[in-house]
Amino acid sequence: MRCEEVQEQLSALIDEQLNHGEREQVMLHLLHCETCFRQYEELRQFVEFCRQLESPEPRIDLWRELQPALAQIVAEQRLPLSQRLRRQWSRLVSQVCYGIILFLQVVTYQLTITLSRYIMEPERAAYGRPMRG
Ligand SMILES: [Zn+2]
């Protein structure tokens, strides 16, 4: 096999798209040709890098955390529509409640700051700027 032929097949080799015979020929060439082997290594590393960017391997811990949730989702898909809607509705309601609580906390915080300004320094707060003199 000539170097050009081998180099044309390097990406197919890395993607495991060569049949057994082709694969053997290319590998044999790589064993003896440093130029092609270097190209193969560079391409392989590049492809590996791209794959890592595309889909990072899920960590085992993460998978353990996700699996029960996934199982629950799958189990829920099998429920009749009425039950599924009821569950989704109650989830929506609880999320809206969380939102309201969060909103109220922010409002209360703002109100506390404003009120404390009035209580500590009523005149300064009323005019909205520091007093002079
Ligand atoms: Zn070569």
Percentage of the chain modeled with pLDDT above 90: 46
Considering the entire predicted model, what is its pTM?
A: 0.41
d(CA 13, ligand 1 centre) in Å: 14
pLDDT-derived band at 8 (thresholds 50, 70, 90) equals very high
d(CA 16, ligand 1 centre) in Å: 19
User: pLDDT tens digits, residue range 25-67?
Assistant: 999 999 999 999 999 999 999 988 888 887 666 666 777 777 7
d(CA 58, ligand 1 centre) in Å: 37
pLDDT-derived band at 104 (thresholds 50, 70, 90) equals very high
d(CA 32, ligand 1 centre) in Å: 8
Rg (CA), the chain: 32
Higher pLDDT, 61 or 125: 61
d(CA 26, ligand 1 centre) in Å: 9
pLDDT at 27: 94
d(CA 49, ligand 1 centre) in Å: 24
d(CA 35, ligand 1 centre) in Å: 6
Higher pLDDT, 110 or 59: 110
d(CA 91, ligand 1 centre) in Å: 61
The mean pLDDT of the chain is 85
